[in-house]
Amino acid sequence: MSYIPIIVYSKDSLDHANNIIYYLYNSFPDLHNRIELVIQKRILQHDRNPEALIESINYYNKLDVFCFVVVSEQNNGLANFVCANTTVPVIYSPCHYNTKPLYNSPMLTYGPESTALAILKLLGVLYKNDVTQLVEEYQNNNKQKARIEDIVLGHEELTIDDKWYENVVTSKKNMDYLLTHTFKRKGKVRNIYVSDEQNTVVLSASDRLSAFDRIICNIPYKGAVLNRISTWWFEQTKDLVPNHLLEVLNDTDIKVKKCTPILIEFVVRGYITGSSKTSMWKNYSEGCSSYCGHVLPKGLQKNQKLETPLVTPTTKGETDELISSQEIINRGILTEEQWNQCHEYALKLFNFGTEVASQNGLILVDTKYEFGFDGNNKIILIDEMHTADSSRYWFKHSYNERFNNGEHPEAIDKEIIRMWIKEHYDPYDKSVPIHIPQDKKDLVMRRYIQLYEIITGNYFF
């Protein structure tokens, strides 16, 4: 066991010392699982004489101390004294950024987060294989956070104006399919055109936003964002799971294989959360311990990561209803072999999406997939993939802190609209129209565009 004493000059610098501990364990949550570390604070306000201080230093030296951290608000005289009486490293972390060391200083770090990182890098010398990975994860997390902040700030002032109409119209460069395909129906989000002769379908993504089994409002650029990010994911995963995409026609429209849809939505959940009547958290919080055939452990908290991702299907119709795999097989919707194939495909896609999201500073919380039978009766992925409509995303860099504080994670999907609606309306009372304020529409528009740019690395405009 390694000891790292934090020697505090006075009570005024105690907050700084506590923040060092906070950043160490919050920024590196796996630290407890990889090495044994005890941090002890020592307030020296009442024993500033050299004899008492040396006694404290010697006490820790006998405990196999790894390094000392000294926090003070004046100068580094205390740190210099500690350094002269021990052979282990000493880190001096002043409380104020304008503090200028007066003596030959030991290692100097400004700010509790920098001090935590310095401690971890020193530990890397002793526990190299375990700690180096933590440092790399931390540094990648900071890079991802900076990139996300840059993208978010880049669209901070983006609002709905007349220009978007022109952009959408000019983006429809290829609409020849209207000569060969006939309009079939208007879905919640997409308009569908079918050609029996070509055995193809055109899906035209609209700007309609749906939630709680109803159309809520229009969000400019939304159709283009959905189309672009979905086709990007289709391309990334075509060798992993076959999909229906044949051709990207323009910003909002794609040509796909004509399929017979499986009337089940394959929802995969990596975290327990949600506010709708079919969400895992709402059912769990109301006493439901068995969810879509899965027995959930006791003591789960809202927004907590599940031990393993779970496939939790729902029926596909006017309203979504929870259903288990056994019910799907018993009703004859799918054979056991077909269910197993869809289950395998869903987890493959979710695990890949989780990895890509994590590499870009996001958490793929949950998502839904739809499958269908093509002309050869093979199961393929249809509809859309990992969009802000079908998926829930959180910012990775703030998840741990917010979860530990009981706060809702920072989201980058349409959950912000769902939560606002629940605060102001009964979302399932369809007799009452829902009016979304303009600033909320602007915010959702920015979130959709930001998600596209964060995931794909491409500029939207």
Query: Tens digits of per-residue pLDDT, 247-268?
Result: 999 889 999 999 999 999 999 9
Q: Within a 13 Å sphere around the CA of 251, how many CA atoms are in the beta-carbon half?
A: 18
pLDDT confidence of residue 143: 87
pLDDT greater than 80 at residue 193: yes
The torsion region of residue 221 among left (phi > 0), alpha (psi -120 to 50) and beta comes to left
More confident residue, 199 or 65: 199
Question: How does residue 401 score in pLDDT terms, banded at 50, 70 and 90?
Answer: confident
Q: Kindly state the tokens that stand for 175.
A: 């609409």
Q: For residues 156 and 62, what is the distance between their CA atoms, to the nearest angstrom?
A: 55
Task: For residues 65 and 86, give the distance between their C-alpha atoms in angstroms, rounded to a whole number.
Answer: 10
Cross-strand pairs, 366: 269, 392
Sequence ranges of the chain with CATH classification 3.40.50.1970 = 2-135
pLDDT of residue 1: 65
pTM: 0.79
Q: What is the pLDDT of residue 55?
A: 84
What are the start-end ranges of the E strands in 1-134?
A: 2-8, 37-43, 68-72, 90-94, 107-108
pLDDT above 70 covers a percentage of the chain that reads 90
More confident residue, 161 or 65: 65
| Most confident of the ranges 14-18, 71-75, 272-276, 329-333 | 329-333
22 or 74, higher pLDDT: 22
pLDDT higher than threshold 90 for residue 424: yes
The label of the residue with tokens 């969400």 reads 279
Q: Other CB atoms closer than 10 Å to residue 69's CB: what's the count?
A: 27
Q: From CA 151, how far away is CA 160, in angstroms rounded?
A: 18
Residue 12, pLDDT > 50, answer: yes
**Predicted local confidence at residue 31, as pLDDT:** 72
DSSP 359: H
Q: Which of 83-87, 105-109, 335-339, 402-406 has the highest average model confidence (pLDDT)?
A: 335-339
Structure tokens at 308: 């393993």
Q: Are 6 and 20 in contact (CB under 8 A)?
A: yes
Q: Which pLDDT score is estimated for 410?
A: 92
Interval 143-150 mean pLDDT: 89
The angle formed by the CA atoms of residues 305, 308 and 314, to the nearest 5 degrees, is 90
Cβ atoms 232, 453 nearer than 8 A: no
Q: Is 331 exposed, middle or buried (0-12, 13-18, 19+ CB in 10 A)?
A: exposed
Q: Please tell us whether the domain made up of 171-456 is placed in CATH 3.30.470.20.
A: yes
Q: How far apart are CA 99 and CA 93, in angstroms?
A: 10
> What is the pLDDT, as a whole number, of residue 14?
86
Predicted local distance difference test score (pLDDT) of residue 169: 46
Alpha-helical (H) ranges within 155-183 are 163-171, 177-180
State the pLDDT confidence band at 180, using cuts at 50, 70 and 90.
confident
pLDDT score of 426 more than 50? yes
Residue 403: the pLDDT is 93
The continuous run of DSSP H or E covering 314 comes out as strand 314-315
Residue 43: band (very low, low, confident or very high) from pLDDT cuts 50, 70, 90: low
Predicted confidence band at 153 (pLDDT cuts at 50, 70, 90)?
A: confident
**What distance in Å separates the CA atoms of residue 107 and residue 104, rounded to the nearest whole number?**
10
Give pLDDT, residue 247.
94
Q: Which of 310, 451, 446 lies closest to 367 in space, CA to CA?
A: 310
Comparing 209 with 44, which gets the higher pLDDT?
209
Q: Is the pLDDT of residue 220 over 50?
A: yes
Reported as type and span, the H/E element at residue 125 is helix 112-126
Mean pLDDT score across all residues of the chain: 87
Query: Class assignment of domain 2-135?
Result: alpha beta
Q: What is the pLDDT of residues 353-366, one digit of tens each?
A: 999 999 999 999 99
Task: Cite the residue boundaries of each domain of the chain with CATH code 3.30.470.20.
Answer: 171-456
Measured distance CA(365)–CA(363) in Å, rounded: 6
3-state secondary structure of 305: strand
- Asked if 116 contacts 332 with a C-beta cutoff of 8 angstroms, the reply is no
Q: Cα separation of 256 and 203, whole Å? A: 8
| Rounded CA separation 453/357 (Å) | 12
pLDDT of residue 173: 57
